[in-house]
Chains A and B, each alone.
Chain A
Amino acid sequence: MAATTALGEFEQVVLLAILRLGEEAYGVTIRREIAKCTEREPAPGALYTTLDRLEEKGLVSSACGDPTPERGGRAKRYFTVTASGVRAVARAQRAYQRLLKGLALPGIAHA
Chain B
Amino acid sequence: MRKHRLAEALLSLVGPADRAASAIGDLIEEEGGRGRFWFWRSVMPLWLSLLWRDLRTAPLAMAVSCVAAWFVYMALSLVFAFLGYVAVTLVWGVAYLLMHHTGFELLADVFLIRFDWPPIPDWATDAIQAAVLFAIAPFQIGRGSTHFWRGHEVSLAMVLLIVWSAMAAFVPLVGIDISARPTMVPLMVTFVLAGALCERFRPRPAAS
Query: A residues engaging B (CB < 8 A)?
Result: 26-28, 31, 43-46, 48-49, 52-53, 64, 67-68, 70-77
Contact = CB atoms under 8 A, between A and B. Distances in A.
Nearest to B15: A52
B25 A43 contact: no
B48 A45 contact: yes
B49 interface: yes
A44 B21 contact: no
Interface stretch (B26-34, B66-74, B193-201): B26-34
A53 B8 CA distance: 21
B4 A64 contact: no
Interface string B1-39: 011100010000001001101111111111000000000
Given A26-B26, A44-B26, A75 B21 contact: yes
24 contacts: A26-B26, A27-B26, A28-B26, A31-B30, A43-B49, A44-B26, A45-B47, A45-B48, A45-B49, A48-B46, A48-B49, A52-B53, A53-B53, A64-B18, A68-B25, A70-B28, A71-B25, A72-B2, A72-B25, A73-B3, A74-B21, A74-B22, A74-B25, A77-B22
Nearest to A55: B19
Contacts of A45: 45-50
A44 B22 contact: no
Given A49-B53, A52-B53, A74 B28 contact: yes
A66 to B, nearest CB: 11
B2 A48 contact: no
Given A43-B45, A44-B42, A52-B19, A76 B25 contact: yes
Interface residues of B, number: 25
A72 B24 contact: yes
A48 B46 CA distance: 8
A47 B28 CA distance: 16
Among A43, A46, A52, A75, max chain B CB count under 10 A is at A52
B49 to A, nearest CB: 3
B50 A74 contact: no
Interface string B137-177: 00000000000000000000000000000000000000000
- Nearest 6 CB-CB pairings of A with B: A74-B25, A45-B49, A27-B26, A71-B25, A72-B3, A77-B22
A4 B25 CA distance: 34
Contacts of A26: 22, 26
A44 B18 contact: no
Given A44-B42, A72-B3, A77-B19, A49 B50 contact: yes
